[in-house]
Chain A
Amino acid sequence: MGKINFILNGKSVEFNCPDNWTLLRMLRDGFRLTGTKRGCGKGECGACSVILDNKIVNSCLILGNQIDGTEITTIEGLSSNGELDRIQQAYIDYGAIQCGFCTPGMVLATKVLLMKNKSPNLEEVREALSGNLCRCTGYRKIFEAVLSLKDEK
């Protein structure tokens, strides 16, 4: 058990994290931020994706105690004052959501892609989301949603 300090969805937080807890478990069981999903627990599906210092990571593969001093964004931190992020709105508009279990991770992976590349092409979108599995949509409407966000300038 060690005390850690980090920035969670824009706010400084402190947490006594048991040594064997993953970041995923800390977010879910510790902070009750259950938008971060556990799909496999082995870094194979991407449902637990969160943004750690501007990188997309599988929170099931990181121990809670490793994140001291970092900045974490979960799906709950993406919308502000109930206003959806434009990525979230695009997922809705393009019908890119079915069961919704992969959606938080997929949206966050999209966020990181667009932070680095304002106008990704289809191949870049495929690559950026390749760590996030979806069993429902076949990905086409997800691609359409993400490509709609291209900065045309």
Chain B
Amino acid sequence: MSFIGKSIQRIDAVSKVNGSAKFIDDYYFDSMLYARIFRAPVPRGRIKNLDLSAAEKLAGIKGIFTAKDIPGANIVPVVEKDQPLLADEVFNFAGEAIAIVVADDPDIAEEGVSLIKLDYEELPSILTIEDSINKTVPDICSKPDNIFSHYKIRKGDFEKGFKSSDISFEEEYKTGYQEHAYLETQGMIAVPNPEKTITVYGSMQCPFYVQEGVSEITGYPLSDVRIIHTTTGGAFGGKEDVPSIIAGFASVPAVILNKPVKMVFDRAEDIMTTSKRHPAWIKFKTGFSKAGKLLAIKVEFYFNAGAYSTLTPIVLWRGLVHAMGPYACDNIHIDAYAVATNTVPCGAFRGFGTPQVIFACETQMDIAAEKLNLSPIDLRQINILKVGDSTGTSHDLDESVGLEKSLHLAADGIDWKNKFIPPSEKTGRKRRGVGISTLFYGVGLGAKGGMLRRAGAFIQVYRDGSVNVAVGTTEMGQGSNTVFAQLTAEALGCSPDNVTILPIDTSRVPDSGPTVASRSTVMTGNAIRNAADQIKHYLLLGASELSGKPEEAIELIDGRVLTAGNELKISFIDVVEHCFNQRYHLTSQGWFKAPSTSWDDDTGLGNAYFIYSFVTNTAEVEVDIETGEVEVLNLVSAEDFGQPINPKMAEGQIEGGVIQGMGYGIMENLYSEKGIFINPGFSTYLIPTTMDVPLVKPIIVNEGYSKGPYKAKGLGECPLMGVAPAITNAIYNATGIRVREIPALPELIIKQKKE
């Protein structure tokens, strides 16, 4: 292998460092117009009258569009079709879009928005999980009892499990919103074409979702809607489903006015009205034998879905599958609910429903270790999944389980043996402690992924030996295009320098599903290998004809042609030229369907995902017990995501994800008053800055997966998920203060200290 496990330079590095990379707001089209949005002022209401007259009179306004103007269906298609693009008659959360204002200048469009007068009747609303469960207002969503989704696991006999337990205990946990805070806000440009087709450019994770969304809104068939991905400035799940909405806001005026329309959100609007990580309320009970064996788990948890279901059903399902943690346990009883409120619809965020349940599960483990008088490492050693074990959903693991290795590497990485000292032995105002968490994570969409569990790739080799690759999953900063160039070069035998990964274009590749769930490397990587194998067949034939050596004796590596380890006088380019002269087909379509999974909704058992990645996080903190301030000193993350394709970029994923996890655990808090976020900016919603970040030690644990491309699994989400409980467990170890709610802000720690 020549390019697998090599830290080659990012293929988009130069354009990003010299300012020439074009993000969506950097595109200008002739006679382009600008859209801004008029929004609902309170959480729930009935529209009585919308007075557009003053806005329409403003010079520069080109049109104002409401629900009745939408040429196709007023639907944002995600899992259900319950969300309109523009509220019609009733609005269900503060900030919901009601009208699109279009002008030849963005400032004029904004002024137009301010001149619209809405006459409305405020309706009773629900703002919290508790009120939604109690149905203080009935029927606020499309499903009965204010419940969008309910999933369950029924494994073994949990009551018997608790009876046979030597210790058992129940705790309650709460987790807050998390805002993605991608540095580039949401944006799209819709460009109408002659013959009633449309091209939409923009910042997104899932071009095929956007294609479906624009098709619904315009009424155009999918074949006439072309989506082109532009350089995307971070996404983290926030650009999974939301871009379909942004594309709708641009496309409605574009097709009606027959002009290009740019819709780029401003920061406050982006924070106030687009998806977030679901807040959660979790009741968690665990039972153990004296020796520390996990005997029973009972969990009931609720996610605040917001006003529409968006991606909530699958976020909830992923939370369910991971709620019991990476432990073998025979008796499990879990109920997971997603409830409606009149707040912003929540959706995908790196980890997708899992960080919430991991926080609860890993705090339980920490409490249990103390009750059992075991070290948190030893308690995990007894219970963690190993090859031959079965997951909480009864998936028998037969390969690629690197959790035990990661447990010990992460413990050693933070010097656990010397630093884990009980809180009772600590004195002084500033106290240090260490904490740990372990997790597993299903790669790809899993058993609920349906028809989306596939990916395509298109490869074309040109006469000069250069190679174009079109893929269906997107680069958003994580480095996937560089990984794809490495995989292509490895599979074809050329240099990655000769490979160009084309901008994603829905007209070039078949629907490859979304770019989510840490699935790109496995899914698109395997599609690329499938495409490359078809071309490689001809390259080997050509090389054999040119050299007179048998095909099976020839190797193509990095543009060189080898036989029995000796380089021949012909090169990759010579072989390509020969193939062209012979009219061999050096263009191919690759395809990959995800390995099989299974699921039973009644029991909640099955092979939920085709493979799992594994992580252990350790943290060292210093807590000021007078102020409650927490300084994170060290974070270690030991991760098994199979073979790393580009280790330096993988480390970058770990370092960045771990810091997002730290933000989730102790810094990032959205405050809301009467259902409206009151801190929609970076001076009030605090994400980690250069001043906040500790030393991060990334450790790569490589337990290869036989069906992954060159034994790779998935990695993108792994780094974030377990950091919060590693930190809060470290806070306990430092102070004896148990954190059951995140973000663990200083005021919360002081409050807990008093209790």
Among the stretches B114-122, B303-311, B421-429, B687-695, the one at the interface with A is: B687-695
Known A39-B185, A140-B696: A76·B17 in contact at CB below 8 Å: no
Chain B nearest Cβ from A141, distance in angstroms: 6
Indicate if B545 sits at the interface (CB-CB under 8 A). Answer: no
CB-CB under 8 A from B330, the residues of chain A are: none
Complex CA gap A74/B20 in Å reads 12
Asked if residues B13 and A92 are in contact (CB atoms below 8 Å), the reply is: yes
Indicate if B232 sits at the interface (CB-CB under 8 A). Answer: yes
CB-CB under 8 A from A143, the residues of chain B are: 690
Asked if residues A34 and B26 are in contact (CB atoms below 8 Å), the reply is: yes
Indicate if A103 sits at the interface (CB-CB under 8 A). Answer: yes
User: For this complex, into which size category does the number of interface residues on chain A fall?
Assistant: 35 or more
Known A40-B267, A100-B12, A135-B687: A35·B18 in contact at CB below 8 Å: yes
Asked if residues B183 and A134 are in contact (CB atoms below 8 Å), the reply is: yes
CB-CB under 8 A from A44, the residues of chain B are: 267, 681-683
By secondary structure, the A interface counts as loop
Indicate if B207 sits at the interface (CB-CB under 8 A). Answer: no
Asked if residues B656 and A39 are in contact (CB atoms below 8 Å), the reply is: no
Complex CA gap A32/B651 in Å reads 35
Asked if residues A129 and B17 are in contact (CB atoms below 8 Å), the reply is: no
Complex CA gap A91/B649 in Å reads 13
Asked if residues A74 and B183 are in contact (CB atoms below 8 Å), the reply is: no
CB-CB under 8 A from A133, the residues of chain B are: 181, 183, 682, 687, 689
Chain A nearest Cβ from B655, distance in angstroms: 4
Q: Contacting B233 at CB < 8 Å: which of A40, A74, A100, A130?
A: A100
CB-CB under 8 A from A78, the residues of chain B are: 18
Binary B-proximity of A116-152 (CB < 8 A = 1, otherwise 0):
0000000001110110111111111111000000000
CB-CB under 8 A from A99, the residues of chain B are: 16, 182-184, 232-234, 476-477
Complex CA gap A45/B182 in Å reads 11
Complex CA gap A130/B689 in Å reads 6
User: For this complex, into which size category does the number of interface residues on chain B fall?
Assistant: 35 or more
Binary B-proximity of A87-121 (CB < 8 A = 1, otherwise 0):
01001110101111111100100000000000000
Known A98-B478, A101-B233: A140·B660 in contact at CB below 8 Å: no
Binary B-proximity of A30-60 (CB < 8 A = 1, otherwise 0):
0011111111111011010000000000000
Indicate if A20 sits at the interface (CB-CB under 8 A). Answer: yes
Complex CA gap A98/B234 in Å reads 8
Q: Contacting A40 at CB < 8 Å: which of B22, B25, B660, B682?
A: B682
Asked if residues A20 and B107 are in contact (CB atoms below 8 Å), the reply is: yes
Closest B residue to A137 by CB, please name it: B656
Binary A-proximity of B149-182 (CB < 8 A = 1, otherwise 0):
0000000000000000000000000000000111
- B contacts, CB < 8 Å to A: 7, 9-10, 12-23, 25-26, 28, 107, 180-185, 231-234, 236, 266-267, 476-479, 648-649, 651-652, 655-660, 681-683, 687-691, 693, 695-696
Since A39-B184, A135-B180, A140-B696 are in contact, a sample of 7 more A-B pairs with Cβ atoms closer than 8 Å, ordered by chain A residue number, is: A35-B18, A37-B233, A39-B267, A104-B17, A136-B477, A137-B652, A138-B656
